[in-house]
Structures are given as C-alpha cells and as structure tokens.
Structure 1
Amino acid sequence: MATDNQAPIDQPPLRSQSLLYGIVGQETRQVTRQVPADEPPQLPVNAELRSIGKPIRRLDAVQKVTGTAKYTFDVQLPGMLYARQVVCPWPHAKVISIDTSAAESYPGVRAVHVLETLLQTARLRDPEAEARNKYPTVRFAGQTVAAVAAETQRIADQAAKLVKVEYERLPHVSELVAAMDDEAPIVFPGPVEQPSTAGGGGAPEGLPQKGNVRGPNFGMPGMTPTGDIDQGLAEADVVVEAEYRTQVQTHVPMETHGIVADWRDDELTIYASTQHTHSVRDEAAEYFDLPKSKIRVISDFTGGGFGAKYGINNFGLLAIHLSQKAGAPVRMMLDRREEHVSAGNRPNSLQRVRIGAKQDGTLTAIDVISWGTGGIAGGAGIGFCYNALYPCPNMRTEQYDVFTNAGPCAAFRAPGQVQGIFSLEQAMDELADRLQLDPIMLRERIDTKPTDDMLARAHERKIAAERFGWDRRRPPNSDAGPVKRGMGMAQAQWVYVVSPPTTVEVRIADDGSVSVYNSAQDIGTGTRTVLAQVVAEEFGLDAENIGVYIGDTRFPWGPPSGGSRVTASVTAPARNAAYAAARDLAARLAPLFDDADPDDIFFAGGKVGVRGNEGAARPLKEAAKEAKFGEISKLAKRHDDYEGFVLSGETSISRHGLGGVQFAEVAVDVETGVVKVERVVAASDCGRPINPKLVESQVIGGIIQGVSYAIYEDRIMDATSGHQLNANVDQYRMVGSRETPEIEVLLIEQIGAQSSTDARGIAEASNVATSAAIANAFYNATGKRIRTLPMNPANVLAALSA
C-alpha cells in the first residue's frame, strides 16, 4: 500500500513505490522510491513496449535530406536586410574614434550600429582599473566593433569596409605559457569575474589573480582538496608523474552562428540558430529592457551546436539594434573566419599529474595542477573527472585560467572532461603497466564508487572487451615494420543533468489527433522523434501520427540542448502529460462502450476499446468525433528525480551519472608520424534508450568528433600578429570520411528508477574517452607515450624520439 510523504512545495505528494532497478538482461531487482502521486506507473522494459525503445527513423529525416528543413540561414522575410560585422584587426587595442558616415551614406545601407556593450568576455572586478572609454577595449583580433545592415549581403560587406576606426595599439600575448610569465603583456588590467551562463564556463567569484593567471579553482562543489598528498605519495609503491598538453579546438558546426532579428512596433521576433531558445529570449529582454512576453524566439532547425550557441552573443546584439533602427528584419550570419575566431572554442590545457598507488592498484594520492586559456573568457579547467571517477583518500586538483589575447572559449561537448580524461586515463594506463596489471583489471579494482554509472561501466568493460577482441592485445611495440598496430581503452564519466522547469503540453483534438508542445530546440539529436515516441506509447499510436511542435518560446518552457539534458528533461513530463491526457480521454470515451470503467479503456493500434472485449474496439478517430469533447490539454512539469538531486536549481544534477567505455585500435607509421584510427568499439549507457538508432548516432558522432580532436584539430595562432592562421575549413584540419574508423556501438538498457521514463542523455559521455583510448592504443603500438595533442606527425615524431 502506498503511503503519502511530504514533498517540496512545487511537487505533488509522494508515495512509496516498488520499482524495477538494474541493467536489463543482467541483474535487476526491486527498489523502493518516493514517487509523485500523479505520475503514471513504471514502464515495462523496452522489449515489451510498442514505440519506446524502437529504432524508428527520424521524423524530420526527409525534410533534411531533401533540403526543405528551414534553418536560420533559410529564413526569408519581406523587406529583410543583411548585416556584416566590423571587426578589429589588432589583438589588443583601445578604440579612439569611429566614423560611420561613409558607410551610412553608401547606397543600399539602411542602418549602422556601433557596439558599446561587449558580451562573451570576463569583466573587470573594478571597472575603474581601466581608463573609461565609450567603446569596449579590444582584446583579440576579430573582436566585434560595429555592424552594417543593407539591402543585400554584398552591399553590407562593402559598406562594412567603409567604417573608419582609429585604434591605439597595445601589447598582446596569445600563447598559454608566454601569458603565464610575470613580464607578459596584461590582458586585463585587474582581477576579473565571469559568471557561468546557460552554456557553462565561468568560475567561482573572488578567486585570486596575478597578471593573466586566475585561480586556483577547485572545480564543482565538493571538489576541494582532501587528505594529505605528500603522505599519500609516500605510502605509494608506484608513482606515475607526467605532463600532458591539449590544444584549442574550435566548434565548426555545419551551420555557423546566426540570427534573424525582426523588431516590429513593440514586439521582437528572433529566428536563431541556438541551443536554447529561452536564453536568447532572456538575454534580449535584459539588454533591450523588453518584457519577455514581447519577445518570441523560433528555432525550427539548428545546424549543429556543441556548447557555444547560447544567448544572443555580440552579433545578435548588433542585429537586434540594426533591426530596431531600420524598422525591418535583419539577418546576421557569421562567416567561417568569424565562426572560428569569435564564436567559441574548447580551451587548451597544460596538466601536471602525480598519481600514487599500492602494488595491488589501490590509489593513495592524486595530485593535479592545470592551466588553460579560454582567451578573454574564463572556464578553462579540466572538469571534475579526477574527483568523480575513481575514489582516492588524498586528492587535490588545482585549476587555473590564463587569459590571452584570443577569442573567448565556450562550453564544448563535455567541457573540461575531455581534457581531463586524456590525462587521467593515460596515467591509469601507465600505472597498470608499471604494476604489470591489465588495464581492465586495474579499473576493476579501483572503479568502485557505489553509483549506477559505475555498475554500468563494469558491465560495459566486459561486453566491449569481448566484442573488441581485447584478448588479442599484444605487448607494446610488437610489430617489426614501420607500421605498428596497437589497442587501448579508456573510460568516460559525465553527470546526469536535468532542467526541472521543463514543462510539456499534450493536446488531443476532437478528431482523435494527438500533438505535443515544448520550446526545446532540436540541434540534430532527434528531439522531435523522441517526444513523438514517448507520447505515442501512451496512445497506442505510431510516432509518425503524433504532431510535434518545438523550438518556439510560445510553447511551454524547454531545456537547453547542452549537458546531455534534453532527453532526461523532456521525456518524463511528456509521458506524464500524455498519460493524464489519455486517462481524461478514456473517461470521455467510456460512455461509448456501455459506460465501461475508464480504467478498462485501452488504446492500441490506432483503436480504442475495453479490456476483455477487444473485438469491439473502434478506430480512435471515429470514437473521438462521436464523443464531441472539443479539445483535451494537459500540462506536466519535470519532477525531481525520485531520489532527489545532489545539486538543485534550473540546472539540477542527479545523484547518479553516465558512464561509457571505449576501445580503440590504431596504426602508427613511425617513419612519417601518421596515426590512423582503424576501429573503435564503444559501450555506452543512457538509462532507458528511447530510440536506439538515435542513441547510436549520438555515440558515433561523439567518437568521430573525438577522433578529430585527437588526431587533427588545432587552432594555430601567430604570436606576432595575434591572428588565427587557419580560421577556415581547409587549413583547420578535421576528420573526414576517409579518416573515420569502423565504429561499433554497444548499448545497455539501464533502469535507474528515477523518473517515469528513466531516459538520460548520451552526447557528452560519447565524446569523453576517445582521445585517451587512442593515446593508450598509441602506446601499445609503439611503446612510447604521447602526451601532447593533436597526434599530428610533428607531435608523433617528437614522442617517438623522446
């Protein structure tokens, strides 16, 4: 018998329920959870469901492959103008004057605006530390100064060149180690702060700052140093000590950043290539002093977003100003150079690591100090993997931001974790080698934190090792010829994030058609399809029969597409709203079946009927029309996890997490320094997979991006000019189809007994372990450690000759 318990004020009463928990097909058991009283019963395992868990095709697949999907670049409005930014060519400068008269008088130009508020940058703690100026100080080459709106893109491009800006050039520094020097040019003339945003970044307030170096930052809550590092290292039988370097990686989405701003009268409509419609709306409301109700943000399709597409950004700020001035819609799309230089990047890192262990593998001490540069922005840490993955009694992770005259960093698919796991999992591999333990065996001994993601990784290690053929792994440097092959593995860890404000509406029209509404945007991950599958399950319909309406702030509040949170946030309220709507519909249709008990009404295969008399089932559309109920609408909010959160707020973090294990096989040509990743096997968990095909697609995408990061991508800065030399898609090398390895994805179905769907995200975890697995395979192939990314020929040959 369920018993009611006290619940938070915004939550319904709770009741104790016995729920299934564990990995389906392996070990499951019943656990007791506190479940909101208005939630539906727990779903059966996927094999027993009709829609959820089935690998159906994306609902928008045809639109995308035929070119009918409308991205921000495709938006065409009557009278629309086209904008181009004016950017500074110098990496550090004071703006003396700006003359826009020539641009304003150029035929076809409708508006010019000079930027006086700069976004995407750290801000001085004391504004008086810098001489006052009406124009923001330029701190990187490519920083936005002004913008022009004109009747055609060509006119806007030409007119932007006519804006005359007088600068006073200042000393600059664009390289990490050089910026750490006490004599280095100063990027900010005093300590700075940068709060985190919807896209992450930032750092705790009040950290010490000396010159360009800010910190130490110990990371997330609960990550302060523990124990005694010196004692732990003294107790160790083996100490691994090494230095690791990772590079700056830019986001390079298929669709560059951009918006179309349409300010008519007192209302503003924004079409945005964004990862969060509400962050765009909220920033626009703040900077233009508009009520949120007067701003509508629409994002039908977004051509990729890996963490940098939040808010309005500087280009959006300008586009809105230009639209207001011109009284017409204005489109501002970044070109490829602007995208590389100013739209965001994954910071680099310099990490010094010491790890001590007993002969049996027990960890005695972990000591890490890291420096990284996010250019003129904070947030260049190495994540929380050292504190979260393996238990250790003596732990210290010091992380420092180093400011340089370069474009600002932004969140990028598992921010910090990718850099941190590259060093951590290589150090663990080296530790296993020193202890003469198989790398999997070492992890079996130390991966013991009592969480369900740890349990998942244990199973994943087993199934992935078997599928990969780990037993074929040979000693390091076993091949005699110039091409040497090797195998490596690494583990991933990411947080299970939820946005509790998420609200979903489900409507049933009087013809029996069902639709679902949420303002979350689909950045290519399949949000439309997942919502349709969850709602279809409650009505016995095919997902294709569900109308899905998303990407519009006039719909109920939706989560940002970041942190692997969308599926975890939207599916539970979608199911809850659909369940409530289905029960309401059942009550209205019961009189059509001889006043049957509404609890006996079922929906299946597009029909409605009464249990025990299935032969009398009728088409749902026919029954709905006869019932004449008008419309049914139900709203449901994302409740807290059944076991609560470890950190609560608009972004809440579960007590559980996400795991993953990857195995890689590489070929290394020791004469040319060319590394080829030939094969990757990834075992991944995301709770209950709503659509296995979409989950596999996410994992494959994460691995490809991880291979690209490990082998190819590298922002090249010229120290003399402060310019990025490869700000294009030609010289900025990325993985292509010929470099993509054979990839096999193994999914597990894990019931966590945390929500009405138990679905979680996968995007971050799929990207975290790749570079470390490749680096460990490199060691197995060559007998040499490569501790510097990317693994291009120069770095490979240097590692081989070390």
Structure 2
Amino acid sequence: MVGEGLKEVTRRVPEDEPPPLPENAKLKSIGKPVSRLDGVEKVTGRARYTFDVQLPGMLWGKWIVSPLPHARIKSIDTSAVERAPGVRAVHVLERMLSAAQLRDPKAEKNNRYLTVRYAGQPIAAIAADTPRAAEAAAKLLKVEYEPLPHVTGIEEAMRENAPLVFPGPTEQPATAGGGGAPPGLPQKGNVRGPDTKPRGVGPRGDVAQGFRESDVVVEAEYRTQVQTHVPMETHGIVADWRDEGLTLYASTQYIGSIRDEAAEYFDLPKNKIRVISEFTGGGFGAKYGIGNFGLLAIHLSRKARAPVRMMLDRRDEHISGGNRPNSIQRLKLGARRDGTLVALQVQAYGSGGVAGGAGVGFAHSTLYSCPNVHVEQYDVFTNTGPCAAFRAPGQAQGMFALEQAMDELAEKLAMDPLALRAKLDVSGTDDSLARAHERRVGAERFGWNKRRPAGTDKGPIKRGIGVSQSQWLYLVHRNTACEVRVMGDGSVEAFSGAQDIGTGTRTILAQVVAEEFGLRAEEIGSHIGDSHYPAGPPSGGSRVSSSLTPAARNAAWRCARDLASRLAPVLDANAEDIVFAGGKVMVKGKNSLALPFREAVKKARIQEISHRAERRDDYEGYAAAGAEVNISRHGIGGVQFAEVEVDTETGIVKVVRVVAVHDCGRPINPKLTESQIFGGVIQGVSYALYEERHLDAASGHQLNTNVDQYKIVGSREVPNIQVILLEQLGAQSSTDARGIAEPANVATAAAVANAFYNATGKRIRTLPMTPANVLAALRA
C-alpha cells in the first residue's frame, strides 16, 4: 500500500521494458480522474451499438423457440415459412451451444433434430425484409413435438425418480468467459459431481478430526436464487457474409472468441473474419461466445447473401441469455475458543439449468487460514435455460454463506467480527494485506465502533450494520497486445482489439499512452473493438486493466524512445536526454529548447513510427499458467460495510448506506474505478433484495421475462455509497494495474445479510430478501 508497509523488492525486468512508475501522485495522466473519452458520443446518441447497426440491404432475423420444456422433435416443416411474403432465408438449428453435451451421444435415441431441454430453446430462425414480415412468418413454422417428462426445481431434480434432463453423463468445457464444469466427474441422474477442487484447490487435512477438536461449531444451510443478467443491450449480432469474407458486428465481451468460434463452426480461416464491437451495452459474463443466435444469423446471411440482424428480445434474453445459478449450501465451521479455525466443510448443490458450472466459488478453501477443509460442489440439471459466467461466478453465492457463518462464529466466541477476520485472514498475499488495511480504514469511516447488540432497536423499524470481506482473482490474459503509432503531424494513436462494455477501456488506454508522451489523454487516438487490431483481452473476470495497460505502456515507451532517437539530431542532443512532458519536447538542462510536441515531431520529418508490444508475464510469475489465462499468486481484496433498515411489519428491507473499501493495484483512473465499484454495489444490492427468476413448474415457462415483474434495483432504492480506493503497488508489471469489476459485487449480499441480523437478531439464510422471505426469517 502506498504510504503503508512499503518495502523494497527485487524483480527481474526485461531490458526492453520501461522503468517502474512512481506512485500516482507524481504522474500526470495515469491515476487522474479523466472523464470518459466517449462520454459525449454516448449521451448524444452518436455511439453506435450493435443494436444501432444498419447495413444496406440488411434483413431482420427472428428465431423460433420451443414452447415445451422437454420434448423430442418428430418433424419440422418450413415450406409455409419459405413461401411467406418477405422471407429470404430459413434455417433449422443443428447444434446447441451454451448447454452441456452428452459424454456418449449414443445414450440418446438418434434423431435428426436437437432434443428440446427447456422452454424457450431455439429451434430455427427466419430472415425477412422487415421485422413484421419475420414475426408473421415465424408463426407459420410447423413443428411436431413428442413431449417428455420435465423437472424445473433443484430439489425435485435431485430426487431419485426425477425425470432425466440428460439420459447419460455429460461434459461441458469452459469457454472464454469461464463457466463449464470439470471433466470426468461422476453423474447420477441429474446430479453431477462432486467437484472437490474448486479453482484447483483440493481438500486438506481431516475435517472429521478437526470438528472433534473444535470447542465451537457453527452449522447452517443457505440458499440463493437464480439471477438473470438483464444487460441494457440484449445479446445480438449483425452477420454479413460476402465472397471476400465474413463481418460480424457483435454486442460482446470478447471479439476474439466470436471470431474463433465463427472460424471453427463455419470452417473459415480467421483472416477472413472481422469482428467489430464499437460499443457494447453491458455484459456481466454471458456475452463471450457466438451463441445460438449468432450461429443462426451467420447461416441466414450465407443463405440469403445479405446482412442479417439478430437481436434477442427481452423475453429471450431472460430465458437464453444466461443466468447466475441458484444454490443450496450446507456449511459447517469448527473453531477453538481463541478463534482459531480448525475445520471447514461445505456441501453445495446448484442448478445452471441445462448447463454445468453451478459452483459456489473458491473462498471456502482460500480466504481464511484453516488446516482441515473439505468442499463438495454438485451440478443439478433442470429443464431450464443455461447458466453463464456472471460477475464473480460462484463467489457471490459462496460468500453470502461463508461471511454469515463467520459472523455467527464470532458471536458464539464473543468476538468482534472484524477481530475474528483479522485473526484468520493471514495468508500474506497482496489481497490479504490490503484487507487488513481496508478493515481498519472502513471501520473508522463507517463508524463500526457504534455497532450495537443485535436486535437492540425498539419498534417495528430496526436498523443494523454489517460487514463482509471480498476476494477475487488477479488474472492476466496472455494473448494481449497493443500497437502505438506516432504520425508525421505529431498525432499519436493506440490500437487494441479489446472491447469496451461500459467500463472505460478507451479512456484508460489513452491515459497510459499519454503518460509516456507527456500529452493529455484527450490528445491520444484510442482505437478498440476491432479484430483487425492487435489482440485484446476479454472484458470479464477483472482482467482488462491488468492485461492491456502493461502492453500499452510498453508499446508507448518504445515508441517514445524511438521518437527521441529521431529527434536527437534535430535538437542536437542525446536521445536519453530528451523528455516528453506537459505537451512539449524538452532536453534535460536546456529549458530554452522546449518545443510543442507536434512542432517537434514535424521537425523530425518522419512519416510514421509504430511499435507493438505484447503482455509479458508478471515479474514475480504466476500461481497457475494456462493457455490463455494466468492466475497470480496474489489477488484482489475488498471490505464492505452496510447499514440496513428493516420494517418488521411489512418485511421490507432497505439498504441505507454502504462503505466500500477496495484495492486494484494501481488505479489507472480513479473516477472510472469508483464507477465500477458503484456498479458492483448496486448490482449486489439488487441480487440481495430483489432479483429472482420465477418459473411455472407445470409448463416450464419463466413468468417474469421482462424488466417490470423481474424486479431490479431502482434509483430510489440505491443506497448512499462511499468508495475508498487504495493504491497498491506490487511490482508485478510495468503498470501494476489490476481489475475491479468483481469484488464489489462479491461482498454486498453478505454484508447486507449480516446487517439484517444486527438489526433484527434473526438470521436470513435465503436470497432474495423479499418480504415473504424476511417475514419467514423473523418468525423462525
């Protein structure tokens, strides 16, 4: 932490990388609250999202979905659709993405059509001249179904005689956005698992012996709900198949995976595919792959020989766009009287519908010091839409249970919850050290010393405060590069295939490059969102800043040094004495030679200088290195305090105030970083209090496929949020930046739940905290 715990460390730095940066206070562009460079475009409507793309001759795509939750398709007749006015192409889907696949396809009766496994599953799609023509033609598709037994509830699906979602064991590899399920796990009925090594961390010690040695044991069951993604812009793509190649305009979190999947599924060379994502209207983990809608759009474009626009409507988005799985977690803690944690055991079941990957994160095995840990995580398949990665997949569910259990343990030990965490959160990693500081700073700013015993308030309206810690991975995407150019007129541009999902990637890219040239971020041309640019990282997992900014700085530094060498004879100076600062080119010790940057570059008579740099490995190496993603030995911390107000007569809970104390290495732009934390807190409050998918068990249909009955937090329900941001320099890369998207979401629901207990003296172990669940908890 800058100003606390400073120490000297030795790192091996490649010779062609720039020297370490000082703390942000000594920098001119990095670390400054620069406003979004594309802000004016967005507020004036000039920003072109995928939804806005209009191409000459563009057709309108409409997909047709199954009304049944489980069925075998006997026949599909497209003849009436093909004759319908305005219809230019029809395609029946022959492969299903986003869902688990049978390990042995022969386990299912052979059929030319896909088996329907959830209501709303896409069957076919139409491309027509107008949206109205597509809608009308969709009603003409004749599909003959053979209904099969279905199951939509997690507990019902776990029963021995439950209808089978899949007739045999399944597999689901991870995608670019995470998710998937570990290979080779046993599967009995609809239950697959256990996975005993979340994030590769296996069991340790002997939990049975640990519980025998424990003086205090806490044991409880926690439940969380299915949460759908609800981005402002739904999933969508515009596919334009031409003889010279395929162009895709996509609302995506990773143009790289869109290109790679299109190349694989359509047997095209990657250089024949261009993916463009100028702006994306939100993405929380589900907008990585090409999706079934993307496959259909490309097929239709190829058949019709015209561009095809395929955007999901809000109903389709809720059902097929991905969701956060629900969970049933049975958690048990054992400790000695002094607070030493002796044993931790978790058995968790979660349903991602027809997809795997419904775990509850890795915090149980990694956050607190404990010698005996055993975690079992199971997938339970149901005839419902597939889950997808969702802003700290699993970790938000797991932390809701773990951090409540820690508070309950503290109470049984008569310890302050912060004191217990300080005793147990001692791994020595960057995130652990950060949380120690965050607990102190946050407690002081929040007024933790004013916390009263649980249920102290008299009357029906009760107030309470609570705390939760956060933990997430420090990830680096290996295949990340950036190109920086200086043109003969003195303009500077940066290029990266990264995409901006609303977090400000354009702006931080410009800030990092501007720092090396002594310019303002507004003077840098920041170009992203095009697969023709150097490969960028996915926008997810809190990895963009950590992956992109070191590559950008390295490219800019090389470009600046190259420019200095070309300016040296013009200025009659040594290249190493040339400095770029304050919009000028100067020579050390010769202040009179200062020239405006553009004027100096023109004097050098260059056409263009260009340098490209790739993201190098962290100087300290990694805990785990994968083909695409590296996991640091360190992590990202965070501590959040919440104050709630509970109306014990109506069951309404209001989050009044949140103090969020977080670290992300070096904040490149504090304003944008705080915005990310605000968003995480707001989404966490929405998850804690409101959001929940409701299904009709008889039909398998979701009942609230809209943004009215699917309640999300509104402006009047957003608490007062105070962000405290720490600058932490770990000497890991040339910028020391890390991401921040996940941690604020991870801690929120647990902090609210602990505050609920402090207000009422009753534990609420079921999300969301709706009036019905609250009143049930108060009666318990």
Report if TM-score (shorter chain) is over 0.5.
yes
Q: Which residue of 2 aligns with 1:191?
A: 169
TM-score, length-scaled by structure 2? 0.99
Q: Which string of whole-angstrom CA distances, capped at 9 and with x for unpartnered residues, describes residues 293-341 of structure 1?
A: 0000000000000000011100000000000000000000000000000
Of 594, 613, 624, which residue of structure 2 is paired with 1:636? 613
Looking at structure 1, the residues matched to 366 and 202 of structure 2 have their Cα atoms a distance apart, in angstroms, of 12
Q: Secondary structure at the match of 2:299?
A: helix
Looking at structure 2, the residues matched to 671 and 609 of structure 1 have their Cα atoms a distance apart, in angstroms, of 70
Q: Which moved more, 1:524-533 or 1:212-221?
A: 212-221
Of 222, 232, 240, which residue of structure 1 is paired with 2:218? 240
Q: Secondary structure at the match of 1:694?
A: helix
1:220: how far off?
A: 3.5
Looking at structure 2, the residues matched to 336 and 772 of structure 1 have their Cα atoms a distance apart, in angstroms, of 29
1:27: how far off?
A: 2.2
Amino acid at match of 1:425: E
- Does residue 316 (structure 1) correspond to residue 316 (structure 2)? The answer is no
- Does residue 397 (structure 1) correspond to residue 375 (structure 2)? The answer is yes
Contact 2:487 2:609 in 1 (8 A): yes
Contact 1:517 1:555 in 2 (8 A): yes
Q: Which string of whole-angstrom CA distances, capped at 9 and with x for unpartnered residues, describes residues 69-122 of structure 1?
A: 000000010000001100000000011111111111111111110001111110
1:469: how far off?
A: 0.6
Looking at structure 2, the residues matched to 339 and 531 of structure 1 have their Cα atoms a distance apart, in angstroms, of 31
Q: Secondary structure at the match of 2:112?
A: coil
Contact 2:493 2:525 in 1 (8 A): yes
Q: CA RMSD in A?
A: 0.7
Looking at structure 1, the residues matched to 97 and 635 of structure 2 have their Cα atoms a distance apart, in angstroms, of 32
Q: Secondary structure at the match of 1:615?
A: strand
Q: Secondary structure at the match of 2:7?
A: strand
- Does residue 625 (structure 1) correspond to residue 602 (structure 2)? The answer is yes
Contact 1:247 1:789 in 2 (8 A): yes
What are the equivalent positions in structure 2 for 1:59-78 lying under 5 Å apart? 59-78=37-56
Contact 1:706 1:767 in 2 (8 A): yes
- Does residue 616 (structure 1) correspond to residue 593 (structure 2)? The answer is yes
| Alignment gaps of 5+ in structure 2 | none
Contact 1:678 1:741 in 2 (8 A): yes
Contact 2:199 2:362 in 1 (8 A): no
Of 84, 101, 110, which residue of structure 2 is paired with 1:132? 110
Looking at structure 1, the residues matched to 504 and 733 of structure 2 have their Cα atoms a distance apart, in angstroms, of 20
Contact 1:259 1:271 in 2 (8 A): yes
Q: Which residue of 2 aligns with 1:332?
A: 310
Looking at structure 2, the residues matched to 114 and 464 of structure 1 have their Cα atoms a distance apart, in angstroms, of 56
Amino acid at match of 1:645: Y
Looking at structure 2, the residues matched to 280 and 154 of structure 1 have their Cα atoms a distance apart, in angstroms, of 29
Q: Secondary structure at the match of 1:516?
A: strand
Amino acid at match of 1:547: G
Of 324, 342, 352, which residue of structure 2 is paired with 1:346? 324
Amino acid at match of 2:610: S
Looking at structure 1, the residues matched to 583 and 267 of structure 2 have their Cα atoms a distance apart, in angstroms, of 49
What are the equivalent positions in structure 2 for 1:672-751 lying under 5 Å apart? 672-751=650-729
Percent identity between the aligned chains? 69
What are the equivalent positions in structure 2 for 1:37-52 lying under 5 Å apart? 37-52=15-30
1:507: how far off?
A: 0.5
Q: Which residue of 1 aligns with 2:632?
A: 654
Q: Which string of whole-angstrom CA distances, capped at 9 and with x for unpartnered residues, describes residues 35-84 of structure 1?
A: 12211000010000000000010000111111110000000100000011
1:221: how far off?
A: 5.0
1:266: how far off?
A: 4.0
Of 525, 538, 555, which residue of structure 1 is paired with 2:503? 525
Q: Which string of whole-angstrom CA distances, capped at 9 and with x for unpartnered residues, describes residues 584-605 of structure 1?
A: 00000111112x1100001112
Amino acid at match of 1:555: Y
Q: Secondary structure at the match of 1:36?
A: coil
Looking at structure 1, the residues matched to 13 and 632 of structure 2 have their Cα atoms a distance apart, in angstroms, of 15
- Does residue 769 (structure 1) correspond to residue 747 (structure 2)? The answer is yes
Q: Which moved more, 1:656-665 or 1:157-166?
A: 157-166
Looking at structure 1, the residues matched to 553 and 766 of structure 2 have their Cα atoms a distance apart, in angstroms, of 46
Looking at structure 1, the residues matched to 181 and 86 of structure 2 have their Cα atoms a distance apart, in angstroms, of 45
Q: Which residue of 1 aligns with 2:771?
A: 793
- Does residue 607 (structure 1) correspond to residue 584 (structure 2)? The answer is yes
Of 394, 398, 416, which residue of structure 2 is paired with 1:438? 416
1:219: how far off?
A: 3.5
Contact 2:343 2:372 in 1 (8 A): yes
Looking at structure 2, the residues matched to 627 and 39 of structure 1 have their Cα atoms a distance apart, in angstroms, of 24
Amino acid at match of 1:347: P
Contact 2:501 2:539 in 1 (8 A): yes
What are the equivalent positions in structure 2 for 1:259-270 lying under 5 Å apart? 259-270=237-248
Q: Secondary structure at the match of 2:436?
A: helix
Looking at structure 2, the residues matched to 526 and 326 of structure 1 have their Cα atoms a distance apart, in angstroms, of 37
Of 498, 512, 519, which residue of structure 1 is paired with 2:490? 512
Looking at structure 2, the residues matched to 644 and 485 of structure 1 have their Cα atoms a distance apart, in angstroms, of 46
Q: Which string of whole-angstrom CA distances, capped at 9 and with x for unpartnered residues, describes residues 701-741 of structure 1?
A: 00000000000000001111111111110100000000000
- Does residue 105 (structure 1) correspond to residue 83 (structure 2)? The answer is yes
TM-score, length-scaled by structure 1? 0.97
1:222: how far off?
A: 4.1
Of 319, 336, 349, which residue of structure 2 is paired with 1:358? 336
Q: Which residue of 2 aligns with 1:412?
A: 390
Which portions of structure 1, spanning 4 or more consecutive aligned residues, are displaced by more than 3 angstroms? Answer: 219-222
Q: Which residue of 1 aligns with 2:187?
A: 209
Q: Which residue of 2 aligns with 1:29?
A: 7
Amino acid at match of 1:474: R
CA separation of 1:222 and 1:147: change in aligned 2, threshold 3 A: closer
Looking at structure 2, the residues matched to 615 and 734 of structure 1 have their Cα atoms a distance apart, in angstroms, of 60
Looking at structure 2, the residues matched to 663 and 40 of structure 1 have their Cα atoms a distance apart, in angstroms, of 39
Q: Which string of whole-angstrom CA distances, capped at 9 and with x for unpartnered residues, describes residues 569-613 of structure 1?
A: 00001000000000000000111112x110000111221120111
Looking at structure 1, the residues matched to 570 and 396 of structure 2 have their Cα atoms a distance apart, in angstroms, of 58
Q: Secondary structure at the match of 1:614?
A: strand
Q: Which string of whole-angstrom CA distances, capped at 9 and with x for unpartnered residues, describes residues 128-157 of structure 1?
A: 000111111000000000000011111111
Of 518, 524, 531, which residue of structure 2 is paired with 1:546? 524
1:174: how far off?
A: 0.3
Looking at structure 2, the residues matched to 472 and 663 of structure 1 have their Cα atoms a distance apart, in angstroms, of 13
Q: Secondary structure at the match of 1:746?
A: strand
1:223: how far off?
A: 1.9
Q: Which moved more, 1:739-748 or 1:197-206?
A: 197-206
Contact 2:361 2:398 in 1 (8 A): yes
- Does residue 585 (structure 1) correspond to residue 563 (structure 2)? The answer is yes
Q: Which residue of 1 aligns with 2:358?
A: 380
What are the equivalent positions in structure 2 for 1:449-598 lying under 5 Å apart? 449-594=427-572, 596-598=573-575
Q: Secondary structure at the match of 1:391?
A: coil
Amino acid at match of 1:625: K
Q: Which residue of 2 aligns with 1:18?
A: none
Looking at structure 1, the residues matched to 591 and 377 of structure 2 have their Cα atoms a distance apart, in angstroms, of 64
Of 202, 205, 217, which residue of structure 2 is paired with 1:224? 202
Q: Which string of whole-angstrom CA distances, capped at 9 and with x for unpartnered residues, describes residues 411-448 of structure 1?
A: 00000000000000000000001101010010111111
1:25: how far off?
A: 2.0
Amino acid at match of 2:762: K
Contact 1:374 1:408 in 2 (8 A): yes
Contact 1:219 1:383 in 2 (8 A): no
